Structure 1
C-alpha cells in the first residue's frame, strides 16, 4: 500500500469480534487491534479509526453483538437505555486502549469516526449521536478530530451530521463528483473535501454474479478528486475474507460469501492487479510515491487432492456437539433464546400424523432464518430457505422424528432490520396444524471440531450414504468428513498460501487445523474456492481438514474416489451463478478491515445499491 502512494489505512473495530459474550473481551492474537495499529505505525502509515459502535462493513449485524437482542424490544443505534448502557461499557474498554495511539500522543491515529452512515438509519436520534460524541470526548480528549461518514446526499447528512463532528461523504466511481462534494461543502463550509469511502469495487452475494467496477472508471474518478485537492479513502484497497461466520447479509435476504475480494486493487490474497498499477499511476501525478521495487504477489502452491472420509452425521454426533444437552419448549425458540449466536441449531419434534402421503411442512410467516435442512427418521426431505422456499412436502409415519438443522447464514448488517433473529422465529405447520413439543440442540461446532479433531469415536467407515439412497430427494444427511495432508518436503519456502475447492460438494463449512475457514457453496456461486492463508498450515505435522457438508457430498455409491477436496493455486470467485439463484447487493474484511487512503488524510464504505449509483449505506 505504501508503494502505491498511500499514507494511511483505515480500520473498523467490530464490537462483536472483541466482546462475543457480555463482559468477555478478546484483544489477543487475531483480535489484537492495538498490535495492528502499532504495525501500521512502524510501517510509516497513519491510521483512521472507525470504532462504531455500528460499522456496517458487510459484517455480521454491522459489528453489533447478537447478545444485545436478548432484550427483544431493544432499539439498536438509538437512545434506548439498554443499548446505551452496553455501548458505554464497551467503548469504556476500547477507547482507553486507543488513546495512547492517538497522533497527539505519539501514535498514528489521526482521526476517529463516530458511528457509521447514521443518516441512512431510520432512527435519526440526535440524542444518541450527542451521547456518542460526549463519550468519545471523555475517553479520547477534546483535541482528537472526530468525524462522521454519510452518503453524498443532503437527506443523509440531515440525520448523520452533528455539530462538533466533521462531516464527510462517501461515493463511488461514476457519481457526479462536483455535486457530491457540494453536499459536503454545504454542511462543512470550511475544512478539507473528503470522500471517506471511494468504492474501488463492490461486494458480492451468494447466487449473484461477482461484482466488478472497471479500472478506467475508478482511475478517472480518483484523478478528478485528487485534482480538486480532495482527501480520498479507497474502499477497499485490499480485499478481505469473511472467515468463520462473520459475513453479513442484506434484505431481501441475501448473505455475503466468504470472499470479500471486492474487486480491489490488491486481491483477497494480497496479489497485485491491473487496478493497483492504474491507481498508483494516478496518485504519483499528485504525490511522490516511495522509491524501490513494488513487493511482488505472494507465491501460491497447489497441494493437490485430499481424500476425505465420513466421520459422523450431525444427528449421530449430538452428544459431542451439544454436551450440555438440549432445551425443551412447546414452541420453537430462536438462537438468541438458547444463547447460540452463530452457526447451527437442531430443532426436533415428532410427526403428529401419518404422512405416508406427502404432507406440507410450511413456515407460513417466512420464519426459517436462514436455511433448514429437513429429515424424517434420518431420511433427508429437502431444504427450507428464508424468503425463497417456505414449504416442502415430507413423508413419514405418525410419531416419526422430524429434524430441522437450521443454519444462521449471517445477520443483516445494513438498514432498519439489523435486529435479525435467527433460527425458527415463528411456528411451523404440518398441513394446517402447528407443530409443538420441540427439543432444541444448540450446536457448539467450534469446540467439537477443536476438541475432537479427527478423533471422534466411531468413524462411519462405510462412506456410502445409505440415507441418500433411501431419500427420494437429492440430499444426504448433514455430516462431518475428515482428511489429512502433509506439506511436501524438499521444496523451499513452504507452506505457501493456497485455495481450496470442493468438486462435487454442495454447501457447508470447512475447518483446517481447527481454524474455521468459512462457508463454501459452489452450487450457488459465484465463489468456488476459499482462500487459505499459509499461517494456518503446519509443516511439523499433518494438516487436518474437517468439512461439514449440509446438503450432498460426492461420497456415495461407486464414486468414493470423488470424496475429496482439492488445493489449487488460482482462485475462482466469479463462476456463473444458476439462473434465479438469489436476491440483491453489500461488504467486510477483518478486525483490521484494511481500508486505505491516498494523499493527506482520507476515509471509506458501501451498501445496498449498484456501485455506479452508490450514495451511502
Structure 2
C-alpha cells in the first residue's frame, strides 16, 4: 500500500505525490476498441503528450443478466487499467452506474425495467439494491488498482451528469457512500455540463465541467462555486456523435485546438472526450429524445483526434504540438499506423429466410403483447437487444393502429408478405383483406434506448401496449426472441440455406465467405444496394447498417479476421445486393460543423 499522497485538489493546482500536477487526459473506452488494439491506442495517447486515461464502465455489459458478471476477454477492465499503468498513464475511472456515453440506456441493464415501478438513478430500493450488488463485484475488481494500493487510478467519478437529471437529493450521497464503504479513498469527482453544474454535486467530491465552447463564463462559474479548488474540464468535447438520417458531425481542428489552448493557458486540467471514440459494436448504440426519437449510429468516430480505426488526424498532430509545450522531456515517438486493406468484393452465396430460422429461437405464447424486457427469456432477465417477432392470427383486413405502442420500429407482415412499416411517425396502416385465418406478424426492432435525459424509465422496447385492428386490440401472440447473440448466429449453420439463384424472402440472412491469404488487416465494409440490418463476421456483431446514413460503412478490425475463410452473415430487412464491397477508408457521408450549431443542441 502506498504511503505517498494521491491526487489532491485543495489548491488552485492539483497535486499528486505532493507535487503540482496537471491532468492532460483523454477518453478511450475499452468496450469500443478490440482488445488486440488497446496497447496501440494507449501508446498513441502517450505519444500525443497525455498523461491520464479516463474510461467509463458499462454496467449492462458487465452484468448482462442479474447476478451474472463478465470481466473477461474484451471486458477485462483490470487488464485494461493495468496496461495503462504499464505504459505510464494515470487513470480517472468513471464507473457510473449511469454513464450516458451514447450507449444503450446510458449503460444501465435493461433487466432493471422488468420492475414496473422502477425509478432509475434514484434511491428507489429496486435500483439501489441492484447498484449495491453490482458495486460489490465491480469494486472487488478495481480496488487493487487504486493509487493507495500502488495502482494507477488517481480519481473516481461519482455517477455522471446528475445535475441534468437531479430527481433524488439522496442519490449522489448514496453512491458516494457506496464507493467509500467498499474502501475507495481516492479523490472523488462529479461531472456536469454548465446548466447542470449547480445540481449535480455531492459533498466531498470535486465538481468538474463538460463543455465544447468557453461560453457563459462556464469555467469562472465553476471557480466561483469552489474557491481555492483545482479546476478541470472533465469532458472537453473534441467532436460530436451522429444519429441515423442526419449529417456526420465534424469540429474543425483549428477551432478545437484554439479552445484547448485557452483552457491550458488558464491552468485548468483537461480530459478530451473523446481522444479516440472507436465503435459501438453490436446493438449497444443509444438514442436521443428531446421530443423526437433519434437513434445513434454504429460508428463512434466522434471526429476525435484518433479516428475510428486508430489513425492519426490533423487534430492529433496539432494537439501533440500543443501538449509538448507542457512537458520538460521530449514526447515518445509516434507509433506507426496500422495498415488497412480494401478486400476484393465478395459475392453472396446463400440466403435463409427469417421465417425459416424461427425454430432456432426461443418463443413465448401470451394472451396480451409483452414488452421485450418482461419476456421470460435469458433466464427470466427478458430480452435486451435486437428484434422481437410478434405473431397473431387475424380473419380480416382493415386499419391497423399502433397507438404509438411500438418501440421503436416494426415491419408489418400479412401472411409473411410485407405490407409496410410502423414507427413513431407512422402509426397506422391499411391491411389487405384475405380469406380465412391469416398470420399477422410484427417484427419489432429495438433501435437503441435513450441514453440521456428525463425519459430513462420509459425505455421499454418491443410492444409496450395494445395494437388495434379496426379498433379491437390484438390478442393471443406467439413471440419470438431474435436478439441475435453469437450462439444464435452459430446455430444458423443448421438452417435450410438456399442457393443465391433462388429469390430471397425478406427479411433474410445472407451468407458469404471472405478469404484472407495474408495477415488480416483492418478494412471497411460497404453495402451499397442494401437497405437496413446487421452484419456478423465470424459470429461477431459489427453493428447496424442503414442506407439513410450518414454512415456508409462498417469498421471491420483486422484482429477479428483470420487467415483463410471468414464467415460473413448479413441480416437484411428489405433489400439486398448480390455482393459486399470493401474500402481502405471510411465514408461518413455529408458533414455538419458542430461549431455552427446552436449551443443548446450540445447540452
Aligned residues of 1:205 and 1:254 also touching (Cα < 8 A): yes
Q: Describe the SS at the equivalent of 1:312.
A: strand
User: Is residue 2:430 matched to residue 1:393?
Assistant: yes
* Alpha-carbon contact 1:478-1:548 (below 8 Å) kept: yes
Q: Is the 8 A contact 1:271 1:296 kept in 2?
A: no
Cα distance in 1 for residues equivalent to 2:87 and 2:597: 32
Offset at residue 176 of structure 1 (A):
2.2
Deviation of residue 574 (structure 1)?
2.1
Aligned to 2:463: 424
Q: Tell me the residue number matched to 2:534.
A: 509
Distance 1:233 1:291, change over 3 A: closer
C-alpha separation between the residues in 2 aligned to 1:41 and 1:238? 18
Residues 137 and 169 from structure 1, CA distance in 2 versus in 1: closer, same or farther, beyond 3 angstroms? same
Please show how residues 449-598 of structure 1 align to structure 2 within 5 Å. 449-452=488-491, 455-461=493-499, 463-465=501-503, 477-489=506-518, 494-521=519-546, 523-539=547-563, 541-554=564-577, 563-575=578-590
- Further displaced range: 391-400 or 530-539: 391-400
More displaced stretch, 16-25 vs 442-451: 442-451
Which residue does 1:78 correspond to in 2? Answer: 122
- For structure 1, the residue ranges without an aligned partner over 5 or more in a row are 468-476, 555-562, 578-584, 586-608
* Aligned residues of 2:530 and 2:576 also touching (Cα < 8 A): yes
Q: 1:456 to 1:576 in 2, by over 3 A?
A: farther
Separation in structure 1 between the aligned mates of residue 486 and residue 191 of structure 2, nearest angstrom = 39
Candidates 246, 254, 263, aligned match of 1:208:
246
**Inter-partner Cα distance in structure 2 for 1:615 and 1:134:** 34
1:605 maps to what in 2? none
Q: C-alpha separation between the residues in 2 aligned to 1:161 and 1:213?
A: 29
Give me the whole-angstrom Cα distance separating, in 2, the residues matched to 1:291 and 1:133.
Answer: 37
2:370 counterpart residue number: 333
Q: Distance in 2 between matches of 1:139 and 1:463?
A: 62
Question: 1:128 aligned to 2:171?
Answer: yes
2:451 paired with 1:413 = yes
Of the three residues 118, 128, 134, the one matched with 1:90 is: 134
Q: Distance in 2 between matches of 1:269 and 1:447?
A: 23
Q: In structure 2, how many angstroms separate the alpha carbons of the residues matched to 1:432 and 1:310?
A: 42
The structure 2 residue matched to 1:343, chosen from 380, 386, 401, is 386
Deviation at 1:291, TM superposition (A): 3.7
Aligned to 2:194: 152
Aligned to 2:6: none
Change (3 A) 1:289 1:425: farther
Unaligned regions of 5+ residues in structure 2, if any? Answer: 1-44, 376-381
2: CA distance between counterparts of 1:29 and 1:4?
Answer: 27
Select the residue among 441, 444, 447 that pairs with 1:403: 441
How far did 1:612 drift? 6.3
Contact 1:52/1:113 (<8 A) preserved: yes
Which among 363, 382, 391 is matched to residue 420 of structure 2?
A: 382
1:432 Cα offset (Å): 2.4
Equivalent position of 1:307 in the other structure: 347
8 Å CA contact 1:408–1:422 kept in 2: the answer is yes
Partner SS for 1:241? coil
The yes-or-no answer on 1:51 pairing with 2:95 is yes
Any idea what the Cα deviations from partners look like across 1:519-554, whole Å, max 9, x if unmatched? 011x21000111111111011x41000110012112
Cα distance in 1 between the residues matched to 2:504 and 2:96: 50
User: 5 Å matches for 1:163-312?
Assistant: 163-172=203-212, 174-176=213-215, 179-251=217-289, 252-288=292-328, 290-312=330-352
Check conservation: 2:286, 2:451, Cα contact below 8 A: yes
Compute the displacement of 1:94 (Å).
Answer: 0.4
Higher relative CO (Cα under 8 Å, sequence separation at least 6) belongs to 1
Residue 48 of structure 2 contacts residue 331 of structure 2 at CA under 8 Å; is this kept in 1?
no
Rounded to whole Å, the distance in 2 between the matches of 1:276 and 1:330 is 57
Structure-2 separation of matches of 1:309 and 1:328 = 35
Q: Match of 1:259, SS? A: coil
- Report the TM-score when normalising by structure 2: 0.88
Distance 1:372 1:407 in 2: 6
CA distance in 2, matches of 1:553, 1:28: 36
User: What residue in structure 2 maps to residue 599 of structure 1?
Assistant: none
- State the 1:391 CA deviation: 1.9
Q: 1:271 Cα deviation (Å)?
A: 0.5
Measured in 2, the distance between the counterparts of 1:368 and 1:118 equals 29
Q: Shift in Å at residue 289 of structure 1? A: 6.3
Q: Give the secondary structure class of the aligned counterpart of 2:429.
A: strand
1:113 aligns with 2:157: yes
**What is the CA distance between 1:614 and its match in structure 2?**
5.9
Q: CA deviation at 1:204?
A: 0.3
Cα 1:38–1:84 shift into 2, 3 Å: same
Among 60, 68, 90, the alignment partner of 1:16 is: 60
- 1:231-251 deviation per Cα after TM superposition (whole angstroms, max 9, x unaligned): 000111112101011110011
Match of 1:362 among 391, 401, 418: 401
- Describe the shift of the 1:63–1:136 C-alpha distance in structure 2 as closer, same or farther (beyond 3 A): same
In structure 1, distance between residues paired with 2:477 and 2:550? 36
